[in-house]
Structure 1
Amino acid sequence: MKVMVVTPYLPHRRVGHGGGTAVRDLVTWLARKHEVLVASPLRPGEDALVEQVAELGVQVVTLPFRDAGTRGPAKIGLWADRLAAWSRARNTGYPLYVEKYWSAGLSQRLQDIAVSFAPDAIQVEYLQLALLVRDLVSRRGGQDFPRVILNSHELGSVPRQRRAAAATDTGERRTALAEAGSWCRLQVDASKWADRTLCVTDEDRDLYARMGGCKLVTVPLGVDTTRIIPVWDPPPDGPEEYLFVGSFGHRPNRLAARLLVETVWPLVRNRRPGAQLVLAGRGSREFLAGLPADLPQDGVRADGFVDDLTPLFRRSRLFLAPLAEGGGIKIKILEAMARGIPVLTTEVGAEGIFAPADEAAIIASPDGREFAAAVCEAAADPEACRQRAARGRAHIESSYSWESIVSRLADIYREA
């Protein structure tokens, strides 16, 4: 089968965020059974990374795109693109974030690639590319054109609705609700354009259906359980480290990290003076350096982007993710559980992955005091942590391996 994957992020090795890692794994596993072409915007400085994607055994075609990294005279073109996107968003009611990923040139280029490659199915990653789905489907007409599958990753309305619910400022609440409304409008229309829309959790699918979405099916994101293996083995006489990993360009990660540094860690250190919090991921050093100078940072360090996280996962006592915002499935949680480290997160972090009854990880309140108490309680019982970590790894193997997910996708491509 020939499969064309359209993604907003070039899936190279240093993509640095969960969704991009999931797309890289998806492409890797699809290419083991199918002929795959990856079409992706090429951002400034990424030219040398195209080969990393081609090494996965796929064809790579890049798309014209200007983003915030654009420099020099091309910056004028970027401003023109953003102004046009803002104008379209005003007219369509769709999110500006979605409109900025569309242009007539990019859309036409993608259609030409589809005609040339002649795939059996086109899978478009992320709702932010939904307008390209619309154009691809409209190209079909009476022709024999491939089916188009939209992989939502997360519903953009969900984190904004959560932000509105948590807001104490009236203006902030109204802004978040307006943004959520524009995402709802886009989400419903996108499901009408696509032949199938993939939801990564049953919760997302049910919510999507209630807002008017159609042709929905649940297919989770996964983790490469052949590459990511259990490594957790903290030395009893080694440093008492606790780990948080994420892309710090993503607001839910910044909020979670700030809660850890500002509220959780001082309370943990009161009871466990040797406890060290490690923040890892692109932007973590800048995040920590940018916090108020009067905010204590004792026992906290930031490692920045880490090429190989294995040593951190091996020696850390717990993986911490006090997420209060965000939607979809959290790749950081999948990967941590696959690594065999005990995970402490929230209901938001656990969404679509496990329930409390599974005992595959620990769920705590995102309240700082309660989360700190949960850290100390878990740290005091390493044997219970070890048992829970083993159940977590087994749960990932049974439900989130890419081999089973890609097999399910092939069935969807055929029946779409």
Structure 2
Amino acid sequence: MKILYIAPKSPAPVIDGGCFAMMECLKGLSTIAEVDGIILETYKHPYTKESERILGQYLRKQTVVPMKTEVNPAGALVNFIRRRNYNLSRFKSDKLYHIIAEKLREKYDYIVCDSLFAAAQLSHFDMQELPPVIIRSHNVESEIWKLHASLESSVMKRFYLRQLEKTLRKEEIDILNKAAVLWAISEEDRSWMLQNTQQKNVLLLPVSVDLHPEIQVHYDRNSFFHLGSMDWKPNQEAVQFLVKKIWVNPEVSSFKLFIAGSKSEHFKFYNSDSIDVVGWVKDSNAFMAQSGTLVTPILSGSGIRIKLLEAMALGIPCITTALGAAGIDVEKSGIQLAESAEAFTETILKFHENAGLRQELGEKSRDYILKYHSFESCIAVIKETLEG
């Protein structure tokens, strides 16, 4: 079996949750079929020698296509006037069209597009003449922009964001309708696709997460931490919420809070006796295992939080919002939810005082990952799709 795999950015090296999810999908595909890849190179995710080395373990051939995805005000205005979605337009080009057309002269059994953006260019083809197209959806993209618009205080910006959401929703549904199969990353996204598109063949394909039984979690640590890339707005909001809404509370301010992740060093001004901005950590699993309880008050954004899943796989106790736990069965997972500063404070106090509770809920989270996010369970879904 031969598959043409299209990624909207280099999945390797893994520098964020999107890369992580793509790599896990690619690993699964490569266990079943020969896979050729078209990798779009962007300014945020350059294709390097390290990319080539890692991807070479899973791809038979690699075709790299540089794309100019930087935001351009003139391009945004033109697309706004034409009522086309600017987000998707940045992942289309004549060059990419011809490269895909050339690759399709080879006989492939399937085309797998890892995200809506990877599938954007295919809207310029006659989908009936292509091999069956599978779109692996990382989020319902238009829902993200709907939320952005609802949270925007500026009237003009809110108007523009609502137009982006409307055009994106129209094009998103059109692209999803043309696929042979959709792989949804969460049950919530799967339900949305079944309700809002004409698709009937929508399968749940969660992100697979490795367990690390060799790593010992220190449940005696009654500290707290936040880990995530700080060039992502929801993580910036989460850290600001922790620092300005919770760690100012005298009941909490004596507890240790570690802040780590890519670009977090830019927030060193938050350092204090109780707050330690660690910066980027080389071994995130080792860091999490010895840093206590994960606190991640996600207030915006969409999709599965990969760092949350990785923490759960280790057996780390976690406190987050309902939005942060999107795609996860809260009752089965052991995750604790809090929606306000008061609720976070109450839960933090409860965790700080009880090592037994930290261990009980952390182990429950690890069992959940083993059951619902193992590599084997995800491979089964891929095999079901490709082999019938």
Q: Same fold (TM over 0.5)?
A: yes
Change (3 A) 1:303 1:86: farther
CA gap of 1:38–1:265, structure 2 versus 1, over 3 A, is farther
Find the counterpart in structure 2 of residue 405 from structure 1. 378
Q: Which runs of 5+ in 1 are unaligned?
A: 69-77
Correspondence 1:16-55 to 2 at 5 A: 16-43=15-42, 46-55=47-56
Aligned mates of 1:364, 1:332 — CA distance in 2: 18
Matched residue type, 1:358: K
Change (3 A) 1:168 1:401: same
Task: Measure, in 1, the Cα distance between the counterparts of 2:271 and 2:47.
Answer: 37
Q: Is the 8 A contact 2:209 2:369 kept in 1?
A: no
Match of 1:219 in 2: 204
Report SS of the residue matched to 1:271.
coil
- CA drift of 1:166 comes to 3.7
The one of 288, 291, 299 equivalent to 2:274 is 299
Q: Secondary structure at the match of 1:122?
A: strand
* Matching of residues 63-212 of structure 1 within 5 Å: 63-68=65-70, 83=74, 87-88=78-79, 90-94=81-85, 96-116=86-106, 118-136=107-125, 138=126, 140-141=128-129, 145-212=130-197
**Conserved 8 A contact 2:226-2:258:** yes
Pairwise CA distance, 1:216 = 4.9
**For the residues of structure 2 that align with 1:167 and 1:66, how far apart are their CA atoms?**
27
Aligned equivalents of 2:227, 2:171: Cα separation in 1? 31
- How many positions carry a matched residue from both structures? 385
Evaluate the alpha carbon distance shift between residue 303 and residue 207 of structure 1 in structure 2; reply closer, same or farther with a 3 A threshold. same
Offset at residue 337 of structure 1 (A):
0.5
Distance in 2 between residues matched to 1:164 and 1:332, nearest whole Å: 26
Question: 2:113·2:133 contact (CA, 8 Å) conserved in 1?
Answer: yes
Q: Is the 8 A contact 2:206 2:373 kept in 1?
A: yes
Report how far residue 140 of structure 1 moved. 4.9
Which deviates further from its counterpart, 325-334 or 206-215?
206-215
Tell me which residue corresponds to 1:282. Answer: 262
- TM-score, length of structure 1 as denominator length: 0.84
Matched ranges for 1:188-337 at <5 A: 188-226=173-211, 228-229=212-213, 231-234=215-218, 236=220, 240-267=222-249, 270-286=250-266, 288-289=267-268, 297-337=272-312
Q: 1:305 to 1:35 in 2, by over 3 A?
A: farther
Deviations 1:328-371 (A, max 9, x none): 2221221111111011111111121112x325211111x22321
CA–CA distance in 2 between the matches of 1:130 and 1:85? 20
Distance 1:110 1:247, change over 3 A: farther
Structure 1 CA distance for aligned equivalents of residues 277 and 100 of structure 2: 40
**1:189-210 CA deviation, whole Å, 9 max, x = no partner?**
1112211222212212222343
| C-alpha contact (below 8 Å) 2:247/2:253 kept by paired residues | no
CA–CA separation in structure 2 for the residues paired with 1:409 and 1:351: 22
Moved over 4 A (4+): 82-86, 295-298
Identity %: 21
Question: Root-mean-square deviation (CA), in Å?
Answer: 2.6
TM-score, normalising length: structure 2: 0.89
